[in-house]
Structure 1
Amino acid sequence: MTSSSNELEANDDQQADDGWRPFLRRNQRYISAIGTLLIIALFGAAIFHLTAEVQYDDVTSALADTRWTSIAAAILFTALSFFALTFYDVGALDYIKRKLPYADVALTAACAYAVGNTAGFGPLSGGAIRYRSYSRLGLEPEDIARIIAFVTLAFGLGLATVGCLSLLTVAEYVAPLTGLEPFWLRAIAIVVLAGLLMVLVVARNGHEFSLGRLTLRLPDSKVSSRQFLVTALDLGASATVLYVLLPAGAIGWPAFLAIYCVAVGLGVLSHVPAGLGVFETVIVATLGRAADVDTILGALVLYRLIYHVLPLLIAIIVIIGMEVRQFAGHPAASSLRRVGGRLTPLLLATLALVLALMLVLSSVTPTPHENLAFLQNYVSLPIIEGAHFLASLLGLVLVIVARGLALRLDGAWWASIVIALAALMLSLLKAVAVGEAAMLAFFLGGLLVSRRLFVRPASLFGQALTLPWLTALGVICFGAFVVLLFVYRDVEYSHELWWQFEFSAEAPRGLRALLGVTIGASAVAIWSLMRPATTAIEPASEDEMERAIAIVDSQDMSDANLVRMGDKSIMFSSDDRAFIMYGQRARSWIALFDPVGPPDAWPDLIWQFIETARANGCRAVFYQVSPLGLAYYADAGLRAFRLGELALVDLTRFELKGGKWANLRQQVSRGQREGLEFSVVEPSDVPGILPELAAISDAWLAHHSAREKGFSLGAFDPEYLASQPVAILKCQGRIVAFANVLVTGTREEASVDLMRFSPDAPKGSMDFLFVQLMEHLKAQGYRHFNLGMAPLSGMSSRQIAPAWDRAGNAFFEHGERFYNFKGLRAFKSKFHPRWQARYLVASGGLNPILALMDATFLIGGGLKGVITK
């Protein structure tokens, strides 16, 4: 009975495990978004409770009473903090042993922190800024990933160290604010510091640090100490920005530094964009006993404006200033302007989000009495009511437009111009809000100066907001709701409020505005989430194939001839000069290689493919792309992950002379002694040898227990083989090996696809075939021979490398039972090629892993094809 019960419980556990874990994996993004909104709601409720005795007028009075000297000091310390922040990137570049001009690094870092601090979510984060900028400066994706990892780890460790050290010295002052005894605060700090010290001692000479399956290589003592000083300066300066805005004598600076570190850490861990609400709650909860809450709230508002919004405005001014002056002739300025051009859309998109928040919040806060009295003399009540309501809706629309600005849509630019002009006029009509109007005018100026950057002719309304953007929209709505409750906490709610229209009736106006924003946001969310079901894509038609082959013949990439297989769909650029060939597996649209055609046609085609995939509810993936297009993919918000290396032989220098070619010379001599004969069969003559080739192919598949592949590899298809030349080897008059040759009209490059031989072919036949083929192609005037990609080759095993690279290297070293990784690399290395990286490009999170799985199944023809080779 007991055994049966245990088995039943085990089965129940297994069923539960099979049920909820896949559910969590499938819906991880949605659960994360809902969790973020729940966190902001909880902290909103907490701060509403903590400010129960505070009136809105008290906060505005506290803001008005802030001394200009305090504001000037806050601006000064903001500048000092951002100066320190640039050295995170400088240290990261030094750690990975890469050098870039400080001006470029400083501009990138400052923009990354200006955007990340203000918006702080995926598309508008420091990582996105760094990918766009550093890819333009020539860094490889692995290097950019290491920079981001270094910066993140350095800040996290520095934050923990500075916070704990400050707690040790001021625990008595912090204890009453937190409700914990000084002993326990110090004990927590000592435990954390001991752990950090242990890690640093182990890694003092750059040694690896292992914790279970996790292996890290931390910086050595010199780098660690330097980064600690950078973090200490950054945190000290940024904490002082808020400290000088607080009432004098409310708390000592060391104690405040400890509280500030805790607030920043919780804000980061909450994953709420910019830590909005979380940071404020911690500060109010801990300092509320030491100072008036109204003055703390006023200081927090100014802190957000000075430390978050002001650097964003300055970054836009600097970049737009370079655009206006156009001093690209100066060597130092040219790279700055090139980088700035890639960052401007993201900066303006972030500013659009700030303005959206401003418009929504201003709609739920009362108009100053003197402004309202002035308006009452010149503007009728219906105009004020309408302006108030429409301004809030414009704030909602501006969130949608912000995403279009980040994507550089021309429609988003025009919409932003119209919205900013309308909001500017409405801000004056509804409240004579001069500051609000000035911000909108600044936004307009930035848009006008940067017009040339927004040239993508995509439909703005065809863009469905992704989850990060919907989360940001939800945070804005929650924030407006909390502010409304705070401002009108003494107003008794009744149904009559909805229909109350008077000049002095501020609460009803705020309620109606919030209702409009909430309904609009809900409609946008439903419209974005109710995406079309994944639709099956059709292979290319005959007409599309002819157009694509014409493009292939006129460009340099020989592998583009794989389009001749006819098993892929084709998407053409608007001018028909380039195309993308792609396939679908599950929810992945997988493009093979870079776009085929002139590089100047790539950017718009890449965007077109990404948007079409998203419109069909799928992720866009690019498989086996070259370094040439990485900047374009970074501009589209995608990230690159190394797949392996492509082997390219320079045929202009190819000759079997010298010691390094001795082994191949021996193979050629041996093949000649054994009677091997090489020839190239032209496409018109291939049908006559197809029966012999088919017999060799069938024997090869049977001998290797393999099956035909697809997508990135050709299959034995008579029409496909007859479309290009075929290299053959004969022994005693019988064909024993063959390889179809992929060529283009430019003769820049040639490659092979199918390479098959009979089980009884002489040993070394394929070496002989390749050498003879290269010599033949060299005589024909071809300049390079593409030996294909060696999967997982060239992936770094260093512990500073991204986890993707280290996992790939481990599989390369120990995965021979699944695939002959090392053998394939060794075979290609015989020909002494130049190795060039190839990448998988997809969005972040789990998407690269899912995309690689989908690409593997697409190539292998499903799970069975992968398992059975």
Structure 2
Amino acid sequence: MEKITRWFKDHAGKLKIIFLLSVIVVVAFELMNIAKTISPDQLAATFSNVPKTRLALMAVIGLISIVPMLGYDFTLNEILGQKPKKMYIFETSWLINTLNNIAGFGGFISAGLRSEFYGKKNSGKSVVKALSKILVFTLSGLSIYALISFFLVIFGQTKPYLKQYWIWLIAGGLYFPIVFGLSIFGRGEYLGDLKSSQRLKLVGSSFLEWTGVLVSFITTGLLMGVNLEIREVVPLFIAATVIGIASMIPGELGSFDVMMIIGLSALNVERETVVAWILLFRLFYYLIPFAIGLVLLFKNLGGTINERYDGIPLNLLQELSHKLEAFFLYFTGIMLVLSATIPEAFVRLPFLQHLNPIRSRVIVIFPAILLGYLLIIAGRGIAARVARAYKPTLILVFLTFLYAINAGFRWSTGFFLALLFIFVIFSKKELYRKQLVYSAEWLTIDGIIIGGLAILYIVIGVYNSPTIHHRHHMPEFFLFPNEKIWMVGLVAIGIVSVIVLGLINYLKGERYKVGGVVDEARINHILTTYGGNPDSQLVFLHDKDAFFYNDGKEDTVFFQMATFNNKILVMGDPSGKKADFEAALETLLHEADQYNYLPVFYENSEEIVMLLHEFGYDFIKFGEKAHVHLPDFTLTGKKMKGQRATINRTIRDGFQFDIIKPPFSQATMQQLKHISDAWLNGRKEKGFSLGFFSEPYLQRAPIAVVKNAEGELVAFANFMPTYTKEVGTIDLMRHDPEKAPSGVMDFLFINLFQQLGAEGYQYFDLGMAPLANVGTSRKSFIQERFAYLVYNFGSRFYSFEGLKEYKDKYATKWSPRYVLYSRDSWIAYVMIALLVVDNAPVQGEKELRGIKKFLVKASGQ
């Protein structure tokens, strides 16, 4: 026994969830049984014959009739010595009692639910004692009415037909005196220790409950216009209820109905009327309150399961609701526009009639087109999780509801829009972003949908023009009512376009850009305290923004970035304290997500790939970085024969290698500028991942130079401080084509290798070889093969293969570098963004052309 008890204690949480889930199964089963007794056609006919105001009144009376049952649970909590919030008792009690009405099983379900909701802070025995008192008194009100009915049947002026039920009425009527007497004179702890006030509350709750049942049933008949005698209906109703309870059938389903149909027919009420009467009674007393209880069930059950599994179930439901909401908004908007574009198709094609949620012919072209396009844009705002989309979406759904009423309302339409409204409200927490940034991906999708609908409308109008002669028979669903209406719609599309742009601008809000201008003091603090990497020095070019991570005490990490459309292009690995890289990445991703941006990480190491992969990022190999192991570098050997010859020839010609240190004079800067301009030969400087000629930038570090015999500078390369002795590198490599000898860059590199090796550096970073060994294998990722095709298009302007071969002369180690992007991004647009930003000119006026101009304008930057 102890083992069994211990097992139940150990598995109590799981058993509670199983119990609650079983309740849902039982309720669903009983709901299907009730559905079998309901004829949709009969229900529709009944609704059409009864005025809507009376139906509404029946519903109100049915809901009010449920309220007395809440008294049981207020009294139960008093017996248990608890004081939970009144709203909690109201919600849970409504749930318990409405479910018990549908599928009571002798009170088993109500006892189980009450134990779950109210018995967690008490011992099992005390809960059972309290529940026994409640369950015993729930039928006391019915018993009182059974006694009253017995006297009406025996001594009142009722029809002889009712006297056959006297045995059931007296049996039911004896229940209350027996129970009441035991509660007063009994000594058992399960019934006899009730306080007088508690006893009266329970009897009063039960009496009012059964009064509510009677009032709901009788007023339903009266509002239907049934001519009835209340003194005859009450005994019949009570007798049928007693028999139904005795049958143990949940909700007295079947036995009660049969008795009432036969009995009321004997009381001269038409059988069809009785069926409709019972149907409406069950609808307004059982089903509608049950539907409310079902919502509360899922709320409370969801709360239990959600708490047990750390909030994951609720998040999944909200995510699903959000997805369905966005889909339904797009779907409804498209259907509205199509119904205005090809109205005859929605009349002649049955599948379109059923597919259209509004299910009506367009009464006015303009509202349909306006609401349709606005719903699509609202769907985009919802899909983008923009908080500002919440209120406009609610308003648009409500306006669509009003339009549906004017267009010819149907219950299916009302249900669909009510469901959509619920989705909007339920998924509100999913809308957390502070602005809409219209990405190229979204522009493509919405452009195809909205543009396709507009083009279809124009084509349909031209196709219907009387001046156009067709060789073939025109499909009937392409017919349009008349040319004048079509012209009105065309004008409407033009007006709607302006309104749609207004909604888009509202959703965008005030543009906020993640990151800010470079603060050199903060950058220097991070680099001198925690070190950097070969790309860190690029930040001082000021052609990118910087994002700083602060650990709560000081700045420890920074990122370099540029914003293009909705993409934040992060250049290289983060710089600073490596232990904070993961936290810094999480902070950057969080802020970018808040403002609707998708970071793209460019030229990153495997270490960062592993960190970002944990955040759900996809990656492709973008190329390889060449490194020279300086301690092993030598000019000896057959492989370096050509380099030795170059060095010796350059030295014989009088050229010298030197390192000059800042600050540099204006004359020196002029010589460097002359070399740079000669090397560019009119080409525009590029930035982002590359350095460009900038005097403040060059003044920050030593420069390696090559001089001719006359001491004139003919080539240079500026050092890139990495703030570590592990890796050394350079940035700009420029030479004067007319004055510098061939092989001058080899001369420069070899001297740099020797110089930095002597200073204790381990590696020299030769930089990237884009697309080196990327997408060349048939087994490569499809994204990598696609990236290769996109970038290979640029080979006409830049020799990727030649760069790889040149660096391979010296490289002793190749390290892969990657591009990482969100799964919400399309790889084609990621590549385009990198191409545009990485190849944008940095000197003079930057004129935006082509796709860049289009995307920047669309995103509002």
TM-score class, shorter: 0.3 to 0.5
TM-score (norm 1): 0.43
TM-score (norm 2): 0.44
Structure with higher Rg: it is 2
Higher-RCO chain (CA-CA 8 Å, sequence separation at least 6): 1
